[in-house]
């Protein structure tokens, strides 16, 4: 599933272009479209690895660094590196990190989940929120994350899933497919980005299927926790 109807470019290229385009409006749209709940999801997801007290953390697909910033405040690690393919998302993130005086702890750099620019076995934890759905090759990304994690280290993934129970399922589907793309289009001025969001969620594996993929990529999966009736799910795997 690619954001734009352009056969000449691959998913990675299109995703990079799309996030660079929407970067100035990304944070405000997240807050408005989720009614602020996305910040609570990130906090709850990070709590799943809090007891491990990870010191060196990699935030893959960090975007504007919301998860990295939350992790710095909530997990109190020594250091966090955030990587993303979209340089303009990183620029917004760097501004936020500086404002919060977290630049000694968090560094952001350009990097692709499928070819992480790090040695093997160095991170205590890897975290990813709303990123894996956008990878061009999901398994390649998960395997490279496995490579850079220390043995015993944890991967926490937070991603959209699909609510299954009526009537929330119907209400949510209506909102996600009709209202969200309309608001997204008006605010971001990118017609495709917020149509791609519900379509990519619909096409993406979740729940047991996603756990199975994590296991196939080398992780012993430990936890799957749904938030807000299954609008999103956090998964934790161990190397
Ligand atoms: C929906 S945003 C999530 C940003 C942030 N983690 C959050 O919770 O708000 C998805 C991000 O994934 C990035 N991304 C997509 N594919 C990637 C890849 N292969 N490697 C690194 N980042 C990637 C995009 O550039 C974008 O910034």
For 103, the token pair is 């630049």
Q: What pLDDT is recorded for position 54? A: 98
Look at the chain and count its residues: 239
Does domain 11-162+203-238 match CATH 3.40.50.150? yes
Q: What pLDDT is recorded for position 73? A: 97
SS3 of 155, please? strand
d(CA 39, CA 66): 8
Q: Is the CB of 116 under 6 A from ligand 1?
A: no
Q: Is the CB of 67 under 6 A from ligand 1?
A: yes
Q: What pLDDT is recorded for position 5? A: 76
Q: What pLDDT is recorded for position 221? A: 85
Angle at alpha carbon of residue 176, lines to 96 and 32, rounded to 5°: 30
Query: Would the pTM count as exceeding 0.95?
Result: yes
Residues 6+ apart with CB under 8 A from 81: 57, 58, 59, 106, 107, 108, 109, 118
Mutate to test the pocket of ligand 1, among 13, 26, 30, 63 (most ligand atoms within 8 A of CB): 63
DSSP string for 73-107: HHH--SEEEEEES-HHHHHHHHHHHHHTT-TTTEE
Q: What pLDDT is recorded for position 157? A: 98
Q: Which regions in the chain score pLDDT beneath 50?
A: none
Q: What pLDDT is recorded for position 222? A: 77
């Amino acid at each position: 599933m690619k954001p734009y109807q352009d056969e000449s470019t691959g998913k990675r290229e299109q995703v990079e272009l799309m996030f660079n385009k929407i970067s100035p409006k990304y944070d405000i749209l997240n807050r408005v479209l989720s009614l602020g709940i996305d910040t609570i999801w990130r906090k709850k997801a990070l709590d799943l690895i809090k007891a491990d007290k990870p010191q060196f953390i990699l935030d893959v697909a960090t975007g504007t660094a919301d998860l990295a910033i939350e992790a710095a405040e909530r997990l109190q690690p020594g250091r966090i590196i955030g990587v993303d393919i979209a340089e303009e998302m990183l620029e917004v993130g760097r501004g936020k990190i500086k404002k919060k005086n977290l630049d000694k702890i968090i560094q952001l750099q350009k990097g692709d989940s499928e070819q992480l620019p790090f040695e093997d076995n160095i991170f205590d934890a890897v975290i990813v929120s709303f990123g894996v759905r956008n990878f061009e090759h999901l398994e390649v990304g998960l395997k490279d994350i496995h490579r850079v994690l220390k043995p015993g280290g944890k991967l926490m993934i937070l991603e959209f899933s699909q609510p299954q129970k009526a009537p929330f399922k119907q209400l949510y589907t209506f909102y996600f497919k009709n209202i969200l793309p309309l608001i997204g289009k008006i605010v971001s001025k990118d017609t495709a980005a917020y149509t791609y969001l519900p379509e990519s969620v619909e096409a993406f594996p979740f729940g047991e299927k996603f756990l199975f993929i994590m296991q196939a990529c080398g992780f012993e999966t430990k936890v799957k926790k749904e938030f807000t009736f299954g609008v999103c799910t956090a998964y934790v795997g161990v190397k």
